Amino acid sequence: MAQIDITHSPKRGRNREQNRGTDALSRLQETGRFALELEAVSRHFGALVALADINLAVRAGERRAVLGSNGAGKTTLFNAITGDFPPTTGRVRLFGEDVTTLPAYERIRRGLRRTYQISLLFNGLSVIDNIFLACRGVGRGRFSLLRPKKDDGAMEMAETLLHAVHLDDRRDTMVAELSYGQQRQLEIALALSGAPRLILFDEPAAGLSPTERTELVEILQALPEHIGFIIIEHDMDVALRVAESVTMMHNGRIFKEGTPEEIENDPEVQQLYLGQDYTAQDRTGGSRG
Ligand SMILES: Nc1ncnc2c1ncn2[C@@H]1O[C@H](COP(=O)(O)OP(=O)(O)OP(=O)(O)O)[C@@H](O)[C@H]1O
Ligand SMILES: [Mg+2]
């Protein structure tokens, strides 16, 4: 069975800090070690400032959660990164390359993927056909109308991704017949097609049952190490279990950054976002998206 692409997989252990070289070469390569760098990014919609002066650096392979109340600017941040809505000012770098003026498809070519807050699937097609089309769409021969052969590389990849998102027993089910949670799992498979290096997940747990949330966490935790992601999540339980770093947004600005523990225990965060009666024992949160 095909593996999820590991072409860009660096040789390193889970303890990423151990790999921080201090020699001249690694300093020279410093820029290339970031999957994403935002420099003074802002986005205006008329008079509304949806993003203001965002500076953000995400290392290759890093898993980061973005938290913040409704309207904080989280999805706008994703739109600025993907190019769906380019920034009004500022620079966006992907894997060391300035992509500020590049269209979304050029960013996809460089390994960027995203899922949306609203489902975008082909309802009249089966699960495997949805994944196959995504795999075909990012590879050579994407305009071929021929039925795939058994040994088609895209089909092999599709089967692997089907398994990665725990949908083996739904392989030939029409998307319209899937549960909501299964549809969100399918979206993750689509985001994994090709050779993703950084995936932006926009509230993947919204509307999921507790069991489906647990499954989502398992799927995200099992992704290959070289695939970094940024996850927008209102459910603290999900966010803090899958992320190693957290960015809190408020009113279009970055309000706090830290480890999940630092964010969880920060009094200002608790007051602003979680409610004053928040305690670490009571962090099921629930979706507000
Ligand atoms: N296309 C747009 N046109 C005008 N205003 C927009 C547009 N997109 C976002 N906004 C505004 O920008 C602000 C930030 O919106 P955004 O969708 O980024 O918030 P969010 O943090 O993702 O919120 P939620 O948690 O509700 O998804 C909001 O005030 C929103 O109304
Ligand atoms: Mg949003």
Pairwise CA distance, residues 80 & 77, whole Å: 5
**Using the 8-state DSSP alphabet, how is residue 170 labeled?**
G
Task: Check pocket membership of 75 for ligand 1, CB cut-off 6 A.
Answer: yes
pLDDT at 20 > cutoff 60:
no
The span from the CA of 164 to the CA of 90, in Å, is 36
Task: Walk me through the domains of the chain, giving residue ranges and CATH numbers.
Answer: 32-111+196-289 (3.40.50.300), 121-194 (no CATH)
Q: Which of 25-29, 140-144, 169-173, 243-247 has the lowest mean pLDDT?
A: 25-29
Please tell me if the CB atom of residue 50 comes closer than 6 angstroms to any atom of ligand 1.
Answer: yes
Q: Which residues have their alpha-adjacent CB atom under 5 A from ion ligand 2? A: 74-75
Span 161-220, pLDDT tens digits? 999 999 999 999 999 999 999 999 999 999 999 889 999 999 999 999 999 999 999 999
76 lines ligand 1 (CB under 6 A): yes
Share the mean pLDDT of the chain. 83
Give the Å distance between the CA of 145 and the centre of ligand 1: 38
Can you give the pTM of this predicted structure?
Answer: 0.84
Give the tens place of pLDDT for each residue, 209-220. Answer: 999 999 999 999
What does the alpha-carbon distance between residue 183 and residue 272 come to, in Å, rounded to a whole number? 32
